Amino acid sequence: MNNDAPAALKLTALSKHFGRPAVDGLDLTVQQGELYALLGPNGAGKTTTLRMVAGLLAPDAGSVEIFGIDLAANPAGAKQKIAYLPDEPMLYAKLKPTEYLEFVAGLWGIEAADAEPRARRLLDWLDLSRHAHELTEGFSRGMKQKLALAGALIHEPQLLILDEPLTGLDAAAARQVKDLLLEHVRGGGTVVLTTHILEVAERLAQRIGIIEHGRLIAQGTLDELRSQTDGGTLEDVFLQLTGQP
């Protein structure tokens, strides 16, 4: 990790209210090359945070910086560096995976000659190649989730923002996605994900942040979080920190 490099993601006093605070003065920094898991109870503000990072929701206050680029000042420059995968991604039912990936690549201005091998590699990796010429409308939830992830990766973003990327995936698909995320980080990329599957955070994340009522209440490696509590599994630590029985 290069300490002189700008953080991959820096949130400063980020806030969003929907009548009441959903995200409430959130400060959070993720360094380049990290896999950071954001955990929190239902309604804690995780999705709202990620949607602001993705530029889909305007903050009421505070700022988002992506590799030192202020999202509000230079949205196009900041967004070029990230991919955002929502918890319920949208696909085009009447497109085949290859067509979908070519379409997404086109939106990013990637030449077909470059997009095609990238798409092939992603479909291979996610074990979707044998379905490459089927319409996505017939895909299972897990297959759709994997294709959406491939779409998020097609422009080779440096920062991946993933909302619950493993929900609904079977063991094999979850393994493929986890391997892909680890590969992204090994190659110098950065991942920020939310998950309710604590084993995913425990196994993949270098650092874990716990958010409650829109605020970061704890952050660190699993060992650091353990030392702030009575220890145990991440589940024990999480439940203690969030004051749940």
Ligand X SMILES: Nc1ncnc2c1ncn2[C@@H]1O[C@H](COP(=O)(O)OP(=O)(O)OP(=O)(O)O)[C@@H](O)[C@H]1O
Footprint of ligand X (CB under 6 A):
18, 22, 40, 42-48
Q: Which long-range contacts (CB under 8 A, 24 or more apart) does 122-125 make?
A: 122/150, 122/153, 122/154, 123/97, 123/98, 123/150, 125/176, 125/179, 125/180
Q: Closest distance between ligand X and the C-beta of residue 16, in Å?
A: 8
* Cβ 110 to ligand X shortest distance, Å: 31
Nearer to ligand X, 33 or 45 (CB): 45
Toward ligand X, which CB reaches closer, 56 or 172?
Answer: 56
SS3 241: helix
By beta-carbon proximity to ligand X, the closer residue of 63 and 167 is 167
**Nearer to ligand X among residue 3 and residue 42 (C-beta):** 42
- Torsion on CA atoms 114, 74, 49, 168, rounded to nearest 10: -10
Report in angstroms how near the CB of residue 87 gets to ligand X at its nearest. Answer: 7
> CA angle, corner 148, sides to 196 and 195, nearest 5?
10
Q: How far is the CB of 136 from ligand X (least distance, A)?
A: 24
Nearest distance from C-beta of residue 147 to ligand X, angstroms: 22
Q: Residue 156 CB, nearest distance to ligand X (Å)?
A: 27
How far is the CA of 101 from the CAs of 8, 40, 75, 104, 164, in angstroms? 25, 32, 23, 5, 21
For ligand X, the closer of residues 15 and 136 by Cβ is 15
User: Distance between CA atoms of 147 and 150, rounded to whole angstroms?
Assistant: 5
Q: Which is nearer to ligand X, 8 or 50 (CB)?
A: 50
